[in-house]
Amino acid sequence: MSCGRKVALAALAVLGVVAMGFFLRGFLDPYRLPWSDWWLYQKNFISPDGRVIDTGNGDITHSEGQGYALIIAHAYEDRKAFDRIWEWTRKNLQTRPDDKLLSWLWKTDGKGGGAVADINNASDGDLLVAWALARAYRSWGDYRYQQASLQILSDLARLDVVKSGDRNVLLPGTVGFVKENGITLNPSYYVFPALAEVARNVPTGPWKELEVSGGTLVEQASFGAWKLVADWVLDGEIVTLSPDFPPLFGYNAVRVPLHIAWHNPRSKLLQPIAKFWKKFPGSKMPATVNLETDEFGPDPALPGVRAVAAFTIACAENQRLTVRALPDLNREEPYFSASLNLLTKIAVRESFSSN
């Protein structure tokens, strides 16, 4: 064998060892996001043109779901998927005539088409999409992402941030939530990591104040024997359970501890919810709790809720949690559970991987 060939083979061997090292480092990283999760999420819930399908709710599409998918696509550094989801969102939901907010509900016609079914916005969906676009700009440097994010935030601040007593609050939507006896609020719409990030990007906006007032709202919106945060409340002279919605700690409020822990893993606001969830190992955890009677609903918590619970308990007990410790996405998991599952893994990675 010639000397040149020996050198070439040796160089290839070194490159192979280096490449294998990088592969194993990524494969063994306990905070690596499983690509199989993202593949299955796209297969089950995202159409080829970028519409996110809520399979547990009549295959509707809502702005919240588009926002979740954008956050997840960015976390997986999948720009092609991100652009496809954003393009569908922009063309089909960002169609209100007087602002850049998103119509919250789109329904299929069952024949391959569909249309907006409610032009009102949902502020959590607007905030999630604006947050995802801000992250995309930071990662990929396309000014169009930043411009679109700032347009949504400007209109969200103008239309959905209002005064309630001595504090600003975030309306769940532009129309229908200001009552004669108070303002109907949803604590889970305060997406704390999003508020903190957009506050750094737009320090002149109301976002930092909402981050603070949202924490106060969570404290005041906790009821029942376990002091669990409610899905919906009425902010009047005092914060009470909303008379317009069931008095539940349920499918809205389970997102509150995820948002809090993602923003501040050591927040004292996690303690009551962690204490409650710790009482119910595995599938025995109830999906809902009636905050007037303290009775549990008939259904068990979804796997995605149990992932949020594991994250919440770890944070409340000052313990570490890895992405690998959370179960892979289940093929039978409905949209909402799958979304919580993937979002929790992203939150765990961002909260613990660099500590």
State the distance between the two ends of the chain, measured CA to CA, in whole angstroms.
50
For residue 293, the SS3 value is: coil
Residues of the chain with pLDDT > 70, as a percent, come to 92
* Confidence band of 283 (pLDDT split at 50, 70, 90): confident
CATH fold of 33-347? Glycosyltransferase (1.50.10)
Q: What residues are labeled active site?
A: 64, 124
109 compared with 186, residue with greater pLDDT: 186
Radius of gyration of the chain (CA): 22
CA 243 to chain centroid: 26
- Give residue 148's Cα distance to chain centre: 19
Tell me the C-alpha distance between 44 and 65, whole Å.
13
The model's pLDDT over 170-203, given as tens digits with 9 standing for 90+, comes to: 999 999 999 999 999 999 999 999 999 999 999 9
Average pLDDT score, the chain: 93
Q: Cβ distance 236 to 227 under 8 Å? A: no
Q: Give the mean pLDDT of 266-283.
A: 93
Query: Which position has the token pair 């609903």?
Result: 297
Phi-psi region of 329 (alpha: psi -120 to 50; beta: other; left: phi over 0): beta
Per-residue model confidence as pLDDT tens digits over 5-49: 554 554 454 444 434 444 434 457 999 999 999 999 999 999 999
Q: How many residues does the chain have?
A: 355
pLDDT band per the 50, 70, 90 thresholds, residue 127: very high
Q: Locate all alpha helices (DSSP H) within the chain, ordered by sequence.
A: 3-28, 35-45, 63-75, 79-92, 123-140, 143-160, 192-201, 207-220, 255-263, 271-277, 303-316, 335-352
For the purposes of burial, counting CB atoms within 10 Å of the CB of 114, is it exposed (0-12), middle (13-18) or buried (19 or more)? Answer: middle
Q: Where are the domains of the chain?
A: 33-347
CB atoms within 10 A of CB 118: 14
Distance CA 66, CA 82 (A): 10
CB 190 within 8 A of CB 209: no
The answer to whether the beta carbons of residues 253 and 230 sit under 8 Å apart is yes
Please name the residues in contact with 150: beta carbons below 8 A apart, sequence gap of 6 or more: 130, 202
